[in-house]
Each structure stands twice: as structure tokens, then as C-alpha cells.
Amino acid sequence: MDVITRHLGEFGDGLLITVELTLLSLAGALVAGVIVAAMRVSPVAALRAAGTAYVETLQNIPLLVWLVLAVFGLPEIGVMAGLFTTAVIVISLYQGAYMAEAVRSGINAVPVGQGEAARALGLTFTQSLRMVILPQALRTVVQPLGNIAIMTIMNTALAAAVGVVELTAAANRVNLAEAQPIWIFVTAGLLYMALSACAGLTTGALERKLAILR
């Protein structure tokens, strides 16, 4: 057990990086998700096609492949960003595809009459989406978005493979010195569980606050 207490600093630093990575990626993913979902329901065929292509490409290639391609491939064509920045952008875009599908399901759950009423009032497509459809859509998908948030926390562990020293990489380094994998990885697992529990509780509270009874 003193293996853990001796390396609290390393675990703390790793946890902090995991939290930063998660929060920044989630923010990015939510923006990407809403934009892509709006594209997928837009009246312009080209935008719908682009949205579909985005979701299919991102979802059908594993995140690890994207991370490795971005970290080692992009510098070959002259695009070079820091490892943490690259990881945030890649995870944002990847989770954005899942966010887009969740948000789109929310849009489809808003009754047709709402859209028709918005149209009757003379709102444009963007206006009716922004002021009528999306506020209702997002409220219905709080729970799925929470699930994606938890998935994002877990997926940040893959950033360890491209040199970001987050919680998993930190646990690996501690284990390299101490050779006590069970204690060390159980600790890392408990920390991940605590993070997911936070995400779950926040989601629950948000849902109770925001849900619309229909």
C-alpha cells in the first residue's frame, strides 16, 4: 500500500492531465457534435452528405489509429502540434462523431409540430434550429451525452500510447520502478471509477433539472 503513498505526486499529476484532457475534449466534442448534427438535418444535400461522411469515417476507424496517424503522420506534411494539443483535437473530433449522433437523435425526438410552428412564425432554418429545436433536443439527450462523457474519460487512456503522461501512463511509470502492478493498476482503476462517478452524478443532476415532461 505504501507503493501508492510514495507516488501520490505522480498519480496526482496523471489524474490532473486526464481531467484536463477529458474536459477540453468534451467541450470540443460538444461543439463538433452540434455542428455535425445540424449539418445532418440541414436542407442542403451536400451538407447532409458531408455530415454523414464525417460520422462514418470517424466512427469506423479506431481512436488509436487516429492518434498515431495524427502524431506521426501530420508532421510529415509539415503540421506539427504538441502531443497534448494533438490528443485533445483528435479525441474531440472522434467523440464529436458520437456526440453528433446523440444530438441528432434528440433532434428527431422533438415533435414535428414544433418545427412547423417555427416555420409558421417565419423563422429561417438556422433560427428554428437554434431557438426552437436544439434547446429541446439537447434536454432530451442529457443521459446519452453523459454516457459519451464517460466513454471520453476512458478513451483518454489511449493518449498514453502517443506520449501524453496521463493517469494510465503515470501508473505505468510507477509500476516500472516498483513492480507492483496489482496495487498500482487497481489504484488507477479506482481513480477512473471516481471520475466516471462524477460524470454520472453530474449527468443525473442535469437531467433532473433540464428534463421536459411530455
State the residues that interact with other proteins by CB under 8 A. Answer: 41-44, 48, 56-57, 60-62, 65, 68-69, 71-73, 75-76, 80, 83, 107-108, 110, 112, 115-116, 119, 122, 124-125, 128-129, 133, 160-163, 165, 169, 172-173, 175-182, 185
Give the span between the Cα atoms of 64 and 8, in whole angstroms.
28
Closest CB 80 distance from other proteins, rounded Å: 7
Question: 61 or 210: whose CB is closer to other proteins?
Answer: 61
Closest CB 198 distance from other proteins, rounded Å: 26
Question: 185 or 207: whose CB is closer to other proteins?
Answer: 185
User: Do the Cβ atoms of 80 and 74 come closer than 8 Å?
Assistant: yes
Give the span between the Cα atoms of 95 and 155, in whole angstroms.
9
Closest CB 59 distance from other proteins, rounded Å: 8
Which of 49, 37, 16, 61 lies closest to 145, judged by CA?
A: 37
Closest CB 124 distance from other proteins, rounded Å: 7
Give the span between the Cα atoms of 139 and 114, in whole angstroms.
15
